Structure 1
Amino acid sequence: MKVILEQDLKKVGKKGDIVEVSEGYARNFLFPKNIAIEATASNVNVAKAKQGSQQRKKQQANDEAILMAAQLEKVEITLVVRVGEAGKLFGSITGKDISAALKKDFNIDIDKRKIELTNEIKSIGDYEAVIKVHPTITAKITLHVIAN
């Protein structure tokens, strides 16, 4: 029996997939728990239309992420910090500091968990940070750490 899944189901398929399952499994488990619906002609047409709209949304999100990454590549952040002896910082620069600087200087709101530093920033100098704009798209920004 062909059914259209309404939710992701382990070892069966993802939401919106049209899969073949046994009739007993469909009638006794999938239908009562509203996990799937029967794959009639009208239901299949609705499912295909939903898949098409999801594809368009994914493509649009991907395009927006590419534009955002291109804009972020041009960004250079200057962080003014307190410095101790021998040019060492009190503490270190974290993703939270970079996120706050982006918000303050450029009005770009990036989650601190999406900012990845290649190594710890504990002294004055120029560094690079990688920002995950989309699961597959990243952007590198330049950080200038200077003394107060």
Structure 2
Amino acid sequence: MQAILLTEVEGLGEAGTVVNVARGYMRNFLLPRGMAEVATPARIAEVQRREEARRAAAIRAVEQSKELVDLLSRTILTLKAKAGDDGRLFGSITSADVATAIKEARGVTVDRRSITVEPPIRAVGTYSVPIELAPGLTTEVKTIVSPLID
């Protein structure tokens, strides 16, 4: 009997796959737990269409990430912060500050968790801040921190 898995089942497959299972296993285990449904030709075609759409969306997301990597690699951010006479900041520049500056400069929203500011920037100067947009897609944004003049 063919079944479409609704959730990942260990030893059987991932969600969305069509598998052959015994009738008793389907009737007594998979169906009552909501882990699978009976595979009809229409449902199989629908699952295949969803899988193709998911693959196309993943390809589009990778292409957009590559374009964003190119855009961010050409970006130079200028951040102003209160600083003492010796160039040390009162506070620090964090990944959230860098994400906000990118949003203002380029109009692109970058998740602050993908920005690595380790250790936090605590002095005036020029820094290279790494950003990982997707697994394997990393870029660096040149960031200039200057003192805020009141």
Which bracket does the TM-score occupy, shorter chain normalised? 0.7 to 0.9
The total of aligned residue pairs comes to 148
Query: Which residue in the other structure is 1:52 paired with?
Result: 52
Q: What does 1:129-140 correspond to in 2, within 5 Å?
A: 129-140=129-140
Q: What is the TM-score with the length of structure 1 in the denominator?
A: 0.85
Query: Which residue in the other structure is 2:126 paired with?
Result: 126
Letter in 1 for 2:70: A
Letter in 1 for 2:123: S
SS of 1:117's partner is coil
**Matches of 1:29 and 1:136 in 2, distance apart?**
40
Greater Cα shift, 38-47 or 71-80: 38-47
SS of 1:116's partner is coil
Query: Which residue in the other structure is 1:105 paired with?
Result: 105
SS of 2:60's partner is helix
**Matches of 2:8 and 2:76 in 1, distance apart?**
42
**Matches of 1:107 and 1:50 in 2, distance apart?**
31
SS of 2:37's partner is strand
RMSD: 2.0
Deviation at 1:10, TM superposition (A): 4.4
**Matches of 1:56 and 1:18 in 2, distance apart?**
20
**Matches of 1:66 and 1:109 in 2, distance apart?**
15
Change in Cα spacing, 1:20 to 1:136, as seen in structure 2 (3 Å) is farther
Greater Cα shift, 12-21 or 52-61: 12-21
SS of 2:86's partner is helix
SS of 2:140's partner is strand
> Unaligned 5+ residue runs, structure 2?
none
8 Å Cα contact 1:95/1:113 also seen in 2 = yes
> Unaligned 5+ residue runs, structure 1?
none
Task: Tell me the alpha carbon deviations over residues 62-107 of structure 1, each in whole angstroms, 9 at most, x when there is no partner.
Answer: 1111111111111110111111242211121101111121222322
SS of 1:15's partner is coil
Letter in 2 for 1:73: S
Deviation at 1:22, TM superposition (A): 3.6
Letter in 2 for 1:28: N
- Percent identity between the two aligned chains: 28
Q: What does 1:72-91 correspond to in 2, within 5 Å?
A: 72-91=72-91
Q: What is the TM-score with the length of structure 2 in the denominator?
A: 0.84
